[in-house]
Amino acid sequence: MKIAVVGATGLVGTVMLKVLEERNFPLTELIPVASEKSVGKEISFKGKKYAVVNMETAIAMRPDIALFSAGGGTSTTYAPLFAEAGTTVIDNSSAWRMDPSKKLIVPEVNASELSIDDKIIANPNCSTIQMVVALKPLHDKYRIKRVVVSTYQSVTGTGVKAVEQMMNERNGITDGPMAYAYPIDLNVIPQIDVFTENGYTKEEMKMILETRKIMGDDSIKVTATTVRIPVMGGHSESVNIEFENDFDLADVRDLLTKTEGIIVVDDPANLKYPMPKDAHEKDEVFVGRIRRDESLPNTLNMWIVADNLRKGAATNAVQIAEYLVKSELI
């Protein structure tokens, strides 16, 4: 079982390696891949050193699975070349997510859609992943009509430069790199990615379109506002869900508690609710503040938190790989 990690020296690629090691993924050979400037560098994995190689070398080595986290342009160019060599690509960029010929997979939601013929599999956007994990069991039971989501997203979602900007601002350093158009520390920026013609940002449109595709239901209405906040550890979401059918709150809590990949933290009397610092370096999706929306019938409010670098990216990709191996689809 040969596994390539493309973008192995980047923020998400580094977490992918960590998750592969922690989950004891059954690989026999690791192929770390990065840009030419990183070729020859060594990375450690399970006590061994591995030299970073370039794309062409990795393709020639014909890995069974390639986990991609190297940007949309790289994925568009190289994912098909890996696929032609017989490799199954699990891509973390936005390049293939809305391609109708490619599956968009969150294992707890729709892994059963995968077949042996899927050679390029898309990993969804981080903010979408954590939301649909919580939405799926509720949709199956009560049928979702509409979702209103506001996100509170970690600077780690932007990358190393954003983390550096925030820490520099926190430490009074004014001449460091700027990942954002504005200061982020002691601030909130209601823009993630670029604006589109309809006034929504690309991040917001990703949540709208990806949710429908993953859930397999274009009738679900979704509207989103995505916001960057000065925190580390994970993304948080305030989610308002209108159902076709009424629900019992105790049943909702019980259903979520029994759902794979979800941890319910919902004890307001003792000030227990999910926070990014609690989700940090965890693979689960945390759900709390579960309550009825008293302004509309059949409507629920929830607060959803997950580590965006893990379940929102690296862990989800590795879980897809685990499913492929377990189901003998490679």
82 is a catalytic site residue: no
235 is a catalytic site residue: yes
Phi, psi of 83 (to 5 degrees): -60, -40
Work out the angle at residue 85's Cα, subtended by the Cα atoms of residues 84 and 87, and round it to the nearest 5 degrees.
95
Q: How many CB atoms lie within 10 A of CB 29?
A: 12
Burial category of 223 from C-beta neighbours within 10 Å (exposed 0-12, middle 13-18, buried 19 and up): middle
Phi, psi of 143 (to 5 degrees): 65, 110
* Active-site residue identified among 126, 129, 285, 305: 126
Residue 255 makes CB contacts below 8 A (sequence gap 6+) with 137, 138, 141
Residue 85 makes CB contacts below 8 A (sequence gap 6+) with 59, 60, 62
Q: How many CB atoms lie within 10 A of CB 146?
A: 15
Per-residue CA distances from 273 to 110, 141, 268, 292 (Å)? 27, 24, 7, 16
Burial category of 240 from C-beta neighbours within 10 Å (exposed 0-12, middle 13-18, buried 19 and up): middle
* Active-site residue identified among 235, 274, 299, 319: 235
Catalytic residues: 126, 235
